[in-house]
């Protein structure tokens, strides 16, 4: 069976933290991205093309922390990471800290197909994209008021914050006139002190039996020193081979320490576990006790899909050949 799964971030996503309008917007965006990738698979297209197209769709949507909706760094700009991997060839490409590329996942595939390298960082990754004619955008393209508001809150709190998180009630004083919160934030109905994780990703099995994975993120609000998370690190946040394809979302430092994505394929290979059991062990038995809140999406060689998470919610959608689209946010 061919199959596709996508995610748009995981974390403490309580029903009370989203307005009805925001929930409707998120579901519609997930449905659109799923339909884009699934349509490619349905027509006999490659898994690699399907995951890239689905992630590009999410990158173009300002609701998600990737591409156009990427969060701000401490210095007030954007540093975006992405990775893509083809399971049957083990070919992979990744970029870190890109600032101008409209779709970082396209730059990651460019690294895979047009260079001898695996991972390129800013400014070289942006230069490669420019040389090959990928669309580049000015800072204004990536700006969203919602993300700017998050940066102002995080600056006043004096810490990094993971996607969508809101300040605790009373924790953020009035901001100076030079940086006003001048637009109501429709994405949260009430202040939420919990952290939410923001990354987008897709995994697929095509009609030829090939697997692929793709992941893209803007990282952490108020991040400093060119911090890089798990997304572009192969085996940590992204992985694909002949057994399974994985895309992770969560607090990247924990996924890096656990080599989370690669650990799943190891459990399948060396212990003979099913995809579902291998994912359960990594997400709930290894990451959760260590403080690694988040989740992942996975597909195996038979087209089975797993979407486990140890947080309160995860923006996710999936569709298997012959089945209906499933879109969900909460547990």
Reported confidence tier of residue 163, pLDDT bands at 50, 70, 90: low
Let me know if residue 286 belongs to a domain: yes
Give the range of the structural domain holding residue 25, as residue numbers without chain letter.
3-139+195-330
Binding residues for substrate are 227-230, 249-252
Q: The domain that contains 231 carries what CATH number?
A: 3.60.20.30
Q: How many domains does the chain have?
A: 1
Whether 165 shows a pLDDT value over 70: the answer reads: no
Let me know if residue 149 belongs to a domain: no
Quick one: pLDDT at residue 130?
98
Q: How far apart are CA 108 and CA 120, in angstroms?
A: 8
Dihedral sign (CA 204, 246, 128, 119):
negative
Least confident residue range of 10-19, 161-170, 290-299? 161-170
Let me know if residue 313 belongs to a domain: yes
Let me know if residue 108 belongs to a domain: yes
pTM (predicted TM-score) = 0.89
Q: Cis peptide leading into 271, omega within 30 of 0?
A: no
Q: Any residues with CB less than 8 A from the CB of 308 and at least 6 apart, and which?
A: 276, 279, 280, 283, 284, 295, 296
Q: How many Cβ atoms from other residues are within 10 Å of residue 226's Cβ? A: 12
Indicate which residues carry an active-site annotation: 199
Q: Please name which of 330, 328, 289 lies closest in space to residue 305, comparing C-alpha atoms.
A: 328
Q: Any residues with CB less than 8 A from the CB of 140 and at least 6 apart, and which?
A: none
Reported confidence tier of residue 23, pLDDT bands at 50, 70, 90: very high
Least confident residue range of 18-22, 107-111, 141-145, 270-274? 18-22
Q: How far apart are CA 125 and CA 100, in angstroms?
A: 10
Quick one: pLDDT at residue 331?
85
Tens digit of each residue's pLDDT (9 = 90 or more) over 32-73: 999 999 999 999 999 999 999 999 999 999 999 999 999 999
Quick one: pLDDT at residue 173?
31
Q: What is the mean pLDDT of the chain?
A: 89
Triad 251, 215, 166: Cα angle to 5° = 40
């Amino acid at each position: 069976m061919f199959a596709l799964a996508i995610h748009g971030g995981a974390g403490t996503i309580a029903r009370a933290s989203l307005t009805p309008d925001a929930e409707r917007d998120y579901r519609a965006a997930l449905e659109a991205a799923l339909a884009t990738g699934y349509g490619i698979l349905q027509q006999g297209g490659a898994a690699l093309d399907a995951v890239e197209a689905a992630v590009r769709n999410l990158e173009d949507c300002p609701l998600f922390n990737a591409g156009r909706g990427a969060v701000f760094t401490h210095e007030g700009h954007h540093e975006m990471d992405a990775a893509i991997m083809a399971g049957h060839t083990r070919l992979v490409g990744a970029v870190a800290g890109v600032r101008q590329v409209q779709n970082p996942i396209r730059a990651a595939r460019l690294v895979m197909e047009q260079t001898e390298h695996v991972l390129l960082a800013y400014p070289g990754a942006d230069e490669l994209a420019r040389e090959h004619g990928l669309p580049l955008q000015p800072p204004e393209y990536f700006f969203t008021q919602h993300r700017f508001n998050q940066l102002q809150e995080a600056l006043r709190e004096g810490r990094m914050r993971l996607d969508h998180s809101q300040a605790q009630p009373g924790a953020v004083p009035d901001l100076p006139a030079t940086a006003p919160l001048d637009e109501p934030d429709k994405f949260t109905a009430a202040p939420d002190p919990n952290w939410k994780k923001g990354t987008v990703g897709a995994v697929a099995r095509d009609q030829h039996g090939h697997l692929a994975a793709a992941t893209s993120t803007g990282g952490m609000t108020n991040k400093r020193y060119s911090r890089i998370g798990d997304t572009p690190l192969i085996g940590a946040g992204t992985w694909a081979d002949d057994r399974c394809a994985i895309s992770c979302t969560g607090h990247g430092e924990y996924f890096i320490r656990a080599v989370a994505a690669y650990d799943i394929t190891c459990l399948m290979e060396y212990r003979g576990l099913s995809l579902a059991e291998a994912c359960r062990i990594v997400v709930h038995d290894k990451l959760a006790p260590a403080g690694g809140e988040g989740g992942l999406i996975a597909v195996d060689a038979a087209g089975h899909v797993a979407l486990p998470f140890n947080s309160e919610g995860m923006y996710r959608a999936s569709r298997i050949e012959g089945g209906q689209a499933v879109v969900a946010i909460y547990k």
